[in-house]
Each structure stands twice: as structure tokens, then as C-alpha cells.
């Protein structure tokens, strides 16, 4: 049986750009990614997403402005822990993206996404994010660089996805 750890991932987008952060330390160091992290005890997932965004980029996103657009599940060969990642997007924020101890924020045009410096799975699901589609994806890795298998499916909405998941 897998143990589940819940994480958040937030992307701020404009019509033609997305804000990514270069991870400076810890898990994912030297990779471009969204902003996020662990959900703390007694914290809602959406509050965690908002908190992590501020901690890692110095910009404020209100929980009410975050749209849950994806659910990602990551498993790793030989590891009993599944990373359960809730992905949010928004185009509303306050402040200026600023370097922190953990992340270096930078805007990228949609056609200049640095896939070679991101997690291997990003090239499969990131186009859904850029198009504003809701989706569910599952990736199974060997180590952190080799995807053994994956599944991505577009869903009508995350609300509908979670309702259906609850029924089964």
C-alpha cells in the first residue's frame, strides 16, 4: 500500500507567458518548476498553495483566485510514498516576482519553455496547463530521470474529477 504525501504547485500565467522558478536548493535543485510544496498540518491545500507562492516568489495570490486545474500523482520504483500534487493556475497576483533563498522566478513565453531544464514529465503535461485544460496525470519513475510509464487524461473539470473519484 502506498503512503500519500500531498503537495501544491502554482503557476501564474498571462496570455502568452508563465512564471517559473529555478529551484536553488533541496528536491528539484537546478530545475525550473512552478511554486509550491508540502501542505502543513491544519492547512487547506489551497491555503498551502497561496502560502508557498508568497514564500518562494514574494508575490501574493489569493486562494479565491487560484483555479485547481490538475491532479498529478508520482510514484517511484521501490518507494512506498506517492507524491499527490494539486496544480493551480491564476492570472491574478500582487507584487513583483523576487528571488528568494529557494527560488529564482522568471517569466517565459509559451514557446520558450525550458523543458530540458525541467522534470522529464513536464514535457507531457505542461501543454495542457498552457492551454488552460484540466487534467489528471500519473507518472511512475525509476530514479528521478527515467519515466517507466505514464497516463494523462483531460477532464471536464477538477470538481467533476474529484466527484467521480469519490464514487469509485
Q: Where are the domains of the chain?
A: 3-167
- For 136, other C-beta atoms within 10 Å of its C-beta total 20
pLDDT of residue 15: 93
Structurally, what CATH architecture does the domain formed by 3-167 represent?
A: Alpha-Beta Complex (3.90)
Q: Backbone phi, then psi, for 132, in 5-degree steps?
A: 75, 20
- Cα–Cα distance, 39 to 27 (Å, whole number): 16
The reported pLDDT for the residue numbered 142 is 96
Compute the distance between CA of residue 124 and CA of residue 101 in angstroms, rounded to an integer: 29
How much is the pLDDT for 168?
A: 52
> What distance, in Å, lies between the first and last C-alpha atoms of the chain?
17
pLDDT at 167: 59
Query: What's the pLDDT tens digit per position in 86-112?
Result: 999 999 999 999 999 999 999 999 999
Q: What number is the average pLDDT over the span 43-70?
A: 96
Is 16:109 a contact under the CB 8 Å cutoff? yes
CA angle, corner 75, sides to 41 and 20, nearest 5? Answer: 70
Whether residue 1 is predicted with pLDDT greater than 80 in this model: the reply is no
pTM equals 0.93
Please give the C-alpha separations between residue 40 and each of 37, 147, 153, in angstroms, as whole numbers: 9, 28, 29
Amino acid at each position: 500500500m502506498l503512503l500519500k504525501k500531498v503537495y501544491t504547485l502554482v503557476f501564474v500565467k498571462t496570455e502568452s507567458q508563465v512564471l517559473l522558478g529555478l529551484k536553488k536548493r533541496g528536491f528539484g535543485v537546478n530545475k525550473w518548476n512552478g511554486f509550491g510544496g508540502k501542505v502543513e498540518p491544519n492547512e487547506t491545500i489551497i491555503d498551502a498553495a497561496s502560502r508557498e507562492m508568497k514564500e518562494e516568489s514574494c508575490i501574493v495570490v489569493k486562494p479565491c483566485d487560484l483555479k485547481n486545474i490538475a491532479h498529478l500523482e508520482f510514484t517511484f520504483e521501490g518507494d512506498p510514498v506517492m507524491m499527490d500534487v494539486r496544480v493551480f493556475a491564476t492570472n491574478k497576483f500582487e507584487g513583483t516576482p523576487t528571488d528568494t533563498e529557494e527560488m529564482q522566478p522568471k517569466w517565459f513565453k509559451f514557446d520558450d519553455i525550458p523543458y530540458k531544464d525541467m522534470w522529464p514529465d513536464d514535457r507531457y503535461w505542461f501543454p495542457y496547463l498552457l492551454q488552460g485544460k484540466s487534467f489528471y496525470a500519473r507518472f511512475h519513475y525509476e530514479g528521478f530521470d527515467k519515466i517507466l510509464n505514464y497516463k494523462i487524461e483531460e477532464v471536464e473539470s477538477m470538481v467533476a474529477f474529484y466527484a467521480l473519484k469519490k464514487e469509485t
